Structure 1
Amino acid sequence: MQKNVMILSGAGLSAASGLKTFRDSGGLWEEYDVMEVCSTQGFKKNPLKVLDFYDERRAQLSSVKPNKAHEIIASIKEKYPNNVHILTQNVDDLLERAGCKDVVHLHGFLPELRCNKCGFVFNIGYESYKDKICLKCSSNDVRHNIVMFGEQAPEYTRLYNLLEIIDLLVVIGTSGEVLPIDIFAINSPKSILNNLDDPNNIAKHFTKAYIQPAISALPKIKCDIDEFMES
């Protein structure tokens, strides 16, 4: 029987690479009003502030590297290419740079811009949005390809469809503030959680939990997945 595994990651996966998260002490929420830079209202009020914010995030992304946790996830995907589904709330490209294939970015992808005129999405790497034009229609009305508060996340459809067929859910480095990972775990046959801490007592809903950094948990999770696939 074919077994399906979902690995769903959040900001905790990339933290060891040096990317600032919103919720950590000293994180982006202490530097920015999240609704000013990550919402449709904020973008409508001051689009340049939002676009410049994501320019800064791209510049920061160019200066960091994938960590061991990204590399282990990439190796799991390589070993089980048709059975392991990689979804992330992160907008960085560190999984891809670690060699991971077919990553689904639930909230968009930082190296990309989207044309407001024709909807075309194109990659600019770590460059600024300034002076960029759409590669399809040549419009200069372009924006970040990130899902903001107040917008629908198209990839959520894929997430919920996959949740219907998976046999093992693995959640790495996400607090559950955006996605109801506790409900996902309750409805999954087996589940594994890895978070640095558990202030909301989410771990009790999972079959197994590793409350530790992703870098130290991923070797154990890889063994868990191997054991699950071979059982």
Structure 2
Amino acid sequence: MKTVMILSGAGLSAESGLRTFRDSNGLWEEYDLMEVCSASGFAKNPKKVLEFYNERRMQLKDVKPNHAHKVISELKSEFKEQIFIITQNVDDLLERANCKDVIHLHGFLPELRCEACESVFNIGYERQKDRICPKCKKPFLRHNIVMFEEAAPQYATLYNLLNKTKLFVCIGTSGAVLPVGHFARMCEKSILNNLEYDEQLSIFFDKTYTKKASEAIDEIATDIRTFLKD
């Protein structure tokens, strides 16, 4: 069976209005990354980190899925188990585009996790303040996000699925966190879509689209359909 992996990063959701760290006027200019996105930063100042994620959750409420999210959802619906949907993003925009079986490598912003009993529950776009765990009734709650210096359990799933993938499609990620060039070499065919051209990354891919995700996605969808139906 021919299979496709669509791996997305911040570039997929940036067009919906979500601020990223790396863009100009991005979150890096306002926050110290390690203070708000690392385990050591959380241990040092948990209140600051929890408030950071409260703000991100409330921002998420005001944005909508864009055309790229919707086309990815349509592809998943059309080909089902032949397409693996994996994202580095913690937003729920793919889910709101009715995409099924999305694997979030770095956690999911609408969820909280109890540090006492490890249960996970969804609070949507609300603030975390004064909540207790619905299962064990304890107040030891945190964002369900994988921070720097923490293990990412879904990476095992990623590598397992890569070993089954024939066409690797990478959308909106620079490769700064994941070795997507190596992933491309693991698969028979590969496609890269980023807003800016990066020769050092593109050399690993068979085809590159240098444009916004929402502008490239229809061509990518044609590539995927052609690959799966040949």
TM-score (ref. length: structure 2):
0.99
Q: Residues 14-56 of structure 1, C-alpha deviation per residue, up to 9 Å, x if partnerless?
A: 0110000110000011110000000011000000000000000
Identity of aligned residues (%): 61
Q: Residues 56-90 of structure 1, C-alpha deviation per residue, up to 9 Å, x if partnerless?
A: 00000000000000000000000011110000000
Q: C-alpha displacement at 1:200, in angstroms?
A: 5.6
- Aligned residue identity for 2:53: Y
Q: Distance in 2 between matches of 1:133 and 1:89?
A: 28
Q: 1:73 to 1:144 in 2, by over 3 A?
A: same
Partner of 1:18: 17
Secondary structure of the residue that 1:140 maps to in structure 2?
Answer: coil
Q: C-alpha displacement at 1:204, in angstroms?
A: 1.4
What's the RMSD between the two structures over aligned residues? 0.7
Partner of 2:221: 222
Q: C-alpha displacement at 1:131, in angstroms?
A: 1.4
Q: Distance in 1 between matches of 2:77 and 2:60?
A: 24
Partner of 1:75: 74
Q: Distance in 2 between matches of 1:40 and 1:3?
A: 39
**Which residues in structure 2 correspond to 1:184-203 (within 5 Å)?**
184-199=183-198, 201-203=200-202
Partner of 2:180: 181
- Regions of 4+ moved over 4 Å: none
Q: 1:142 to 1:220 in 2, by over 3 A?
A: same
Q: C-alpha displacement at 1:212, in angstroms?
A: 0.5
**Which residues in structure 2 correspond to 1:57-72 (within 5 Å)?**
57-72=56-71
Q: Distance in 1 between matches of 2:198 and 2:162?
A: 25
**Which residues in structure 2 correspond to 1:20-99 (within 5 Å)?**
20-99=19-98
What runs of 5+ residues in structure 1 fail to find an aligned partner? Answer: none
TM-score (ref. length: structure 1):
0.98
Secondary structure of the residue that 2:130 maps to in structure 1?
Answer: coil
Partner of 1:119: 118
38-47 or 182-191, larger mean C-alpha shift:
182-191
Q: Distance in 1 between matches of 2:70 and 2:12?
A: 11
Q: 1:205 to 1:168 in 2, by over 3 A?
A: same
Q: C-alpha displacement at 1:201, in angstroms?
A: 2.4
Q: Distance in 2 between matches of 1:198 and 1:181?
A: 15
**Which residues in structure 2 correspond to 1:100-139 (within 5 Å)?**
100-139=99-138
